[in-house]
A and B are shown apart, each in its own frame.
Chain A
Amino acid sequence: MAALARLQARLSGLREEYFRRNRSVDEYRKIEYKAAVKIQSWFRGCRVRAYLRYLRKMTIVIQKWWRGYRSRRYFRKMVKTAYFIMKMNFYNEMAVRIQKRWRGYYVRKYIHNYYALKKYLEAISVNNEIIRSELQKYTEMKENEEKRKDLEKKEKEKQYQARKMHYLLSTEQIAGIYNSPFRKSPDPMELLLRKSKPLSHRRQQKKSPFACELHDWPTCKRPPSFSTAQPLPCIGRQKPQGPFRDPAEVLRQRYKPLEPTLRVAASISSPLEKAREEMKREEWRNRVHDNEFLPFSSYHKNEKYDPSIHRSGKYGQEAYGIKHFREVQPKKWVTDKDFRTVLPSIVLFEKFGKTYSRTGQIV
């Protein structure tokens, strides 16, 4: 019980102790807590950081390896490409070299062959020369022909002239005008005249006053006719031996005129059609014109009458030609009286009524 007593004794101390201790604990609690937090945070921080560090390290390792792998792969590829490009460039260069040579050769040989071109041009010029000379020949030939034709024409003209003037030929007695006796040789015309025949008297051609086109139109007076002359009988041919008919009879048979049957001779078209055609033709022939036909005779009606000079005087009609045909100018008259006739009068009438008879009476 002592213990209990001791405890009892110490109880107040203890209580105090307890209180004190609690107080000190309470006093330090916040600090401790904060310290604990700090320690913990630090520790935990360290731990997490370490972990992160670890993670990063691992990442770097992974990435390092991966990137290295990839880059190496890329590099290898790049090298390959570069190599390929280099190769291709080389090949291209070589190809260009080959093509260059080949194309040059090909073009020079086949397309733009200088020598061939030169030869071609030369050939052209030679050909041109040939063509030119041939054309020249052709024209000369043509000209000669023309000249010859002209000459022939002139010759013909001359001959015709000679025939026309054949009467100028000299006779035995009288020398012609082309055969002058003062010359040594006769004129060439004389020779020509001697050779040519005189022109026969030309028949007068009846000429129509109208154009020649009209002239040579046969105006259905002479329709074009086929020759209907009988064939000539054969000359002196004997009747051939054998059972033949007489040649004349055979010929008659051969050339007898056609005798068509009625059926053939009749027209193909029916009588009705024929009649229609006839009617049509009739109608055509006697076609009636409704249009106004202005004959020339009524043409003057539209025209104003144009009087003659004498009738259209400024001061009205003149009497000339209507009343008299001789000009009358009374101003120039010497006297109003008519001229006296100068014929010897008939004595008996002169004296009529003026003389007295013997018996003193007026006669």
Chain B
Amino acid sequence: MSQRQVLQVFEQYQRARTQFAQAVAELASRPQNIETLQNAGVISLLRPLLLDVVPTVQQTAALALGRLANYNDDLAEAVVKGDILPQLVCSLSEQNRFYKKAAAFVLRAVAKHSPQLAQAIVQCGALEMLVICLEDFDPGVKEAASWALEYIARHNSELSQAVVDAGAVPLLVLCIQEPEIALKRIAASTLSDISKHSPELAQTVVDAGAIAHLAQMILNPDAKLKRQVLSALSQIAKHSVDLAELVVEAEIFPVVLTCLKDSDEYVKKNGATLIREIAKHTPELSQLIVNAGGVAAVIDCIGSCRGTVRLPGIMMLGYVAAHSENLSMAVIVSKGIPPLCACLLEEQEDHIKAAAAWALGQVGRHTPAHARAVAVANVLPTLLAMYVDTRSSEDLQMKTKKALKNILQKCTYLPALEPLLHDAPPNIMKHIVGQFSKVLPHDSKARRLFVTTGGLKKVQEIKAEPGSLLQEYINTINNCYPEEIVRYYSPGYSEMLLERVENYHPVL
């Protein structure tokens, strides 16, 4: 046997290993093969290959494992139980960038499924290694590490805190400043996932100076990056007034309003979410947004899109209007009511309708002027129809009821109230009749109109319990009219007249 022949054996063996690893990696990328691979015991076969002498085989084995773990949580658990993670973590720091990428991919694929799996990754000390990877030269490695960190941090605040404790945040902030778009995207979304859990975590992100860099990237032409940046900013701003003010101080207005006109739906949604998270805290912040023209932009945004993209915008209008009557008036002046009505009518899903109803209630609840503006848009019958509709969800019914109550208690615009008299349930009727009883004693024209449009008749037909509030209101209304008219419109009056005719003895 010559030396060549001996070496040939090794070469063949190496080639076979490489081929096996590559084939498995290739097969694992198709979901229909996973079952078969698992039945063939692929994980225990790939495990030794992770420690192979040839880097290519290692990398490919890691890639295959990652794809398997990515498929479902059972496989991910199998990877965890198979003691593969310690191997990966050990070799993560000393291998080349391709291996690092693949290993980070495995970690990410495992962590994405559940908090327990992510916890398992944290327990085997992967965070430190991932943070070291964030300092790598290669943007691909950074991206993979950042992605893995994101999947770990997104589950709950403890895991997020673990990521923060590992010192990832300053490095992520550095990653945002890299020129590669993909890395920026993932770093931004990682920051978003870290800061979404608690004010303390958000404060950590802010302390690392993330806001300034994030705010700069709002104007980036890349839509996906914009999504992540806006999401990160809104996750930071949502926790407290201080954080929201810090976000505002980064001069995101009026730049962020351009995002509401973006062609990408998610950019619109996240932009509206950011504005909502800022507006919800204090009247001052809302005022700032109103002054920057944010309300008009949001209203346009609501008008131009459909579905869940509208939701944050609708809620933002509600929050702004809830703060004070001036802000509510600003929403009205910015022509905010027609789009909200359109949402109420067009949307299919109950939660969006509920949000629109809530927002309208907030707009209309301040003064009669506000309520009038809402009532003129013919919202009240729609709200009432939704309230009495049995198919509406409980939440929607509650929201519509509250909105109706808020608006009706301030509404003095009688023409809008009249149609409601015909088909309102008693608990709403109370408020409607109450408004009539407040207005009619002071307005002679309205009294006349009330009779001619048949309102008085309708009021007489209401069966109220004696002594109740409703009865009191009805009495107040009746007192505004001469007795004959009231009796004329009372039900059963014609029979009474006929009876009188029968009992009448003609005088001859």
Task: List the interface of chain A (C-beta within 8 A of B).
Answer: 117, 120-121, 124-125, 127-132, 135-136, 138-139, 142-143, 146, 209-211, 213-214, 217, 219-220, 284-285, 287, 289, 291, 293-296, 299
Contact = CB atoms under 8 A, between A and B. Distances in A.
Contacts of B297: 131-132, 135
Interface of B: 22-23, 25-26, 29, 40-41, 44-45, 48, 51, 53, 55-56, 59-60, 63, 83, 90, 96, 98, 254, 257-258, 260-263, 290-293, 295-297, 300, 326, 329-330, 333-334
B293 A128 contact: yes
B293 A131 contact: yes
Contacts of A128: 293, 295-296, 333-334
B45 A131 contact: no
A121 B257 contact: no
Those 6 A-B pairs whose CB atoms lie nearest each other, nearest first:
A131-B293, A128-B296, A219-B56, A139-B261, A121-B333, A210-B22
A125 B296 CA distance: 8
29 contacts: A121-B333, A124-B290, A124-B291, A124-B295, A124-B334, A128-B293, A131-B292, A131-B296, A132-B300, A135-B297, A135-B300, A139-B261, A143-B263, A209-B26, A210-B23, A210-B25, A210-B26, A211-B26, A214-B22, A214-B63, A217-B59, A219-B55, A219-B56, A220-B55, A220-B56, A289-B48, A291-B83, A294-B41, A295-B45
A128 to B, nearest CB: 3
Contact of A217 (B56, B296, B330, B334): B56
Given A120-B326, A124-B291, A294-B44, A135 B258 contact: yes
Contacts of A291: 83
Nearest to B98: A217
B258 A299 contact: no
A120 B287 CA distance: 12
B45 A296 contact: yes
A111 to B, nearest CB: 10
A127 B22 contact: no
A125 B331 CA distance: 10
A235 B300 CA distance: 67
Q: Classify the interface of chain B: helix, strand, loop or mixed.
A: helix
A185 B476 CA distance: 91
B448 to A, nearest CB: 31
Contacts of A135: 257-258, 260-261, 297, 300
Given A125-B333, A128-B333, A214-B25, 16 more contacts: A121-B330, A121-B333, A124-B295, A127-B291, A127-B293, A128-B295, A132-B296, A142-B263, A210-B22, A211-B29, A214-B60, A289-B48, A291-B83, A293-B44, A294-B41, A299-B41
A124 B287 CA distance: 11
Interface centre among A131, A285, A295 (most CB of B within 10 A): A131
A135 B271 CA distance: 14
Given A131-B254, A214-B60, A220 B96 contact: yes
Contacts of B96: 220
Nearest to A122: B333
Contacts of A217: 56, 59, 98
A296 B46 CA distance: 12
A285 B94 CA distance: 13
